[in-house]
């Protein structure tokens, strides 16, 4: 799966470079690093998770808006807070400069449901941005969505150890309003770059994605 995503990302990069060199001056706006845009985006299939207000979060919640998805856990001192802080800035920039905030959502998916209750998740994500949504669920369903996006993770629960290790993907996944995996942002992440690239993706999509 990881290899597939990497390969798809590479192919997408090549495809973009070729397409835009020939056809579209807006190619200048699409960087070659930091984001891979999939030319043939994969439609996501059913999954069943729960948001931080204990509401169902499933495939229907990804339809009709652009979603930025990030997998992590709240007992994560470095990468998760850093990423969420960047995404909060990115969201503000997108809302201000690009398209308004109506059609976008930012979702933090905890891969550590053992420790991340709905309450904890809510407190955590809304600290970074009031609109952020925290989502988790049972391991099979987290694995279901993560697998579809190519988001690797590994939770090594050790009995009696409070701070057991969790490994997770550092990428931010962009799902379009038809619930298709449209692009992936890879570190180093930058709020301005995410906002700028998202604007280009939206322009390229036009009304097709809605």
Minimum CB–partner distance for residue 55 and other proteins (Å): 20
Contacts 24+ apart (CB under 8 A), 75-83: 75/112, 75/115, 75/163, 75/166, 76/166, 76/168, 79/168, 79/170, 80/108, 81/128, 83/170, 83/172, 83/189
Tell me the sheet residues that pair with 43: 180
Minimum CB–partner distance for residue 76 and other proteins (Å): 7
The torsion angles phi and psi of 84, rounded to 5 degrees, stand at: -65, -35
Kind of pairing between the strands at 180-185 and 104-110: unpaired
Among 11, 16, 43, CA closest to 149: 43
Hey, CA dihedral for 65, 184, 130, 75, is it positive or negative?
Answer: positive
The residue from 118, 170, 173, 200 that contacts other proteins (CB under 8 A) is 170
The residue from 27, 29, 48, 85 that contacts other proteins (CB under 8 A) is 85
Residue 81 lies near other proteins (rule: CB under 8 A): yes
- Using the minimum distance from each CB to other proteins, give the nearer residue, 23 or 163: 163
The residue from 82, 114, 131, 144 that contacts other proteins (CB under 8 A) is 82
The stretch near other proteins (CB under 8 A) out of 25-33, 54-62, 125-133, 190-198 is 125-133
The residue from 31, 100, 147, 187 that contacts other proteins (CB under 8 A) is 187
Residue 168 lies near other proteins (rule: CB under 8 A): yes
Residue 188 lies near other proteins (rule: CB under 8 A): yes
Residue 163 lies near other proteins (rule: CB under 8 A): yes
The residue from 42, 65, 120, 178 that contacts other proteins (CB under 8 A) is 120
Instruction: Tell me how many residues contact other proteins (CB under 8 A).
Output: 29
- Using the minimum distance from each CB to other proteins, give the nearer residue, 57 or 71: 71
Which string of x and - marks every residue 1-40 that binds other proteins (by CB under 8 A)? -x---x----------------------------------
Minimum CB–partner distance for residue 93 and other proteins (Å): 16
Among 208, 201, 207, 202, CA closest to 12: 201
Among 115, 57, 87, CA closest to 185: 87
Q: Are 174 and 182 in contact (CB under 8 A)?
A: yes
HEC sequence for 78-90: CHHHHHHHHHHHH
Residues of the shown chain interacting with other proteins in the complex, contacts defined by CB under 8 A: 2, 6, 74-79, 81-82, 85, 120, 123-124, 126-128, 152-154, 163, 165-170, 187-188
């Amino acid at each position: 799966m990881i290899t597939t995503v990497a390969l798809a990302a590479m192919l997408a990069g090549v495809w973009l470079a070729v397409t835009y060199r020939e056809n579209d001056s807006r190619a200048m706006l699409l960087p070659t690093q930091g984001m891979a845009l999939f030319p043939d985006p994969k439609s996501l299939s059913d999954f069943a998770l729960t948001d931080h207000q204990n509401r169902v979060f499933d495939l229907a919640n990804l339809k009709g808006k652009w979603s930025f998805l990030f997998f992590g856990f709240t007992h994560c001192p470095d990468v998760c807070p850093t990423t969420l802080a960047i995404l909060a800035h990115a969201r503000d920039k997108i809302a201000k400069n690009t398209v308004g905030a109506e059609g976008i959502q930012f979702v933090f998916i905890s891969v550590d449901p053992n420790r991340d209750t709905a309450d904890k998740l809510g407190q955590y994500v809304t600290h970074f941005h009031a609109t952020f949504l925290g989502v988790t669920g049972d391991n099979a369903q987290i694995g279901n969505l993560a697998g579809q996006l190519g988001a690797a993770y590994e939770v090594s629960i050790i009995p009696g150890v409070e701070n057991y290790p969790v490994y997770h993907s550092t990428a931010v996944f962009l799902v379009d309003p038809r619930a298709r995996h449209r692009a992936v942002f890879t570190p180093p992440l930058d709020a301005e770059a995410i906002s700028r690239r998202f604007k280009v993706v939206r322009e390229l999509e036009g009304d097709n994605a809605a």
